[in-house]
A and B are shown apart, each in its own frame.
Chain A
Amino acid sequence: AQRVTQPEKLLSVFKGAPVELKCNYSYSGSPELFWYVQYSRQRLQLLLRHISRESIKGFTADLNKGETSFHLKKPFAQEEDSAMYYCALSGGRETSGSRLTFGEGTQLTVNP
């Protein structure tokens, strides 16, 4: 069974501080990991995926297979980063289509 855990429901930091949103997963095969973000009154949107190895809006995430983690990091948080962040997993070709398994989300608040 596949499972995604985000241990922090709420995370509050000050502007300019580093931020790390934790994500751990459980999956027996080779997963694909994603971070989705939902800004206030907007729909869920893809922030980044591990296979792209890119930085979006200053955020990066590295897949650590040994620790089964995919933590999201940003060195200097901005107020506009305040949003709900969801970590998600797909089994890729090993499951049907691209169904996603989501964590419960972390509400990030960046204070001025």
Chain B
Amino acid sequence: NAGVMQNPRHLVRRRGQEARLRCSPVKGHSHVYWYRQLPEEGLKFMVYLQKENIIDESGMPKERFSAEFPKEGPSILRIQQVVRGDSAAYFCASSPSLLAGYNEQFFGPGTRLTVL
């Protein structure tokens, strides 16, 4: 079990380009969460997805950001027309199907996005 995989680990983009961040959850996990960590800050929730469904996107910026978790393949966090303020570490976490309460979230190593 390789755990949560994220790629790329480091991504450099120029202002105005698109950034695509990928997350492969733990095998068998059907819940994916994305968090963003700005410099000198804690992790902030962005979006919660299940297969083919966005459950909670209340932490996502209203523009330029989107996320998906298709039936097949990894979850994708997409940032269009990146700006310098998007530079951050983006973490993905996965958990198994929710039972009657909390299920532990397993975190990936993160993708560090740098916008020039």
| Residues of B contacting A44 in the complex (Cβ-Cβ under 8 angstroms) | 43, 91, 107
Partner of A92, one of B102, B105, B110: B102
| Residues of A contacting B110 in the complex (Cβ-Cβ under 8 angstroms) | 43
In the bound complex, how far is the Cα of B77 from the Cα of A65, in angstroms?
Answer: 36
Inter-chain contact B101/A43, CB cutoff 8 Å: no
Instruction: For the complex, count residues of B whose C-beta is within 8 A of A.
Output: 27
Q: A43-B110, A49-B102, A98-B105 are contacts. A105–B48 as well, Cβ < 8 Å?
A: no
Task: Check A70 for interface membership: any CB of B closer than 8 A.
Answer: no
- Where chain B touches its partner, the secondary structure class is loop
In the bound complex, how far is the Cα of B45 from the Cα of A44, in angstroms?
Answer: 15
In the bound complex, how far is the Cα of B62 from the Cα of A106, in angstroms?
Answer: 30
Task: Check A96 for interface membership: any CB of B closer than 8 A.
Answer: yes
Task: Check B108 for interface membership: any CB of A closer than 8 A.
Answer: yes
* Chain B residue nearest in CB terms to A91: B102
In the bound complex, how far is the Cα of B42 from the Cα of A89, in angstroms?
Answer: 13
Instruction: Give chain B nearest CB distance to A51 CB in angstroms.
Output: 8
Task: Check A11 for interface membership: any CB of B closer than 8 A.
Answer: no
Most buried by B among A36, A44, A51, A104: A44
Question: Which 7 pairs of residues, A with B, have the shortest CB-CB distance?
Answer: A102-B42, A104-B42, A44-B107, A96-B56, A102-B43, A97-B48, A99-B45
Residues on A facing B (Cβ under 8 Å) = 4, 6, 32, 36, 43-46, 49, 51, 86, 90, 92-93, 95-105
19 A-B pairs besides A51-B102, A98-B95, A102-B42 with CB distance below 8 A are A4-B42, A49-B102, A86-B42, A92-B102, A97-B55, A97-B95, A98-B31, A98-B33, A98-B102, A98-B105, A99-B45, A99-B56, A99-B59, A100-B33, A100-B45, A101-B45, A102-B35, A102-B44, A104-B41
Cross-chain pairs A/B with CB under 8 angstroms, 26 sampled: A6-B42, A32-B101, A32-B102, A43-B109, A43-B110, A44-B43, A44-B107, A45-B107, A46-B105, A51-B102, A86-B43, A92-B101, A92-B102, A93-B101, A96-B48, A97-B31, A97-B55, A97-B95, A98-B31, A98-B103, A98-B105, A99-B33, A99-B48, A102-B43, A103-B42, A104-B42
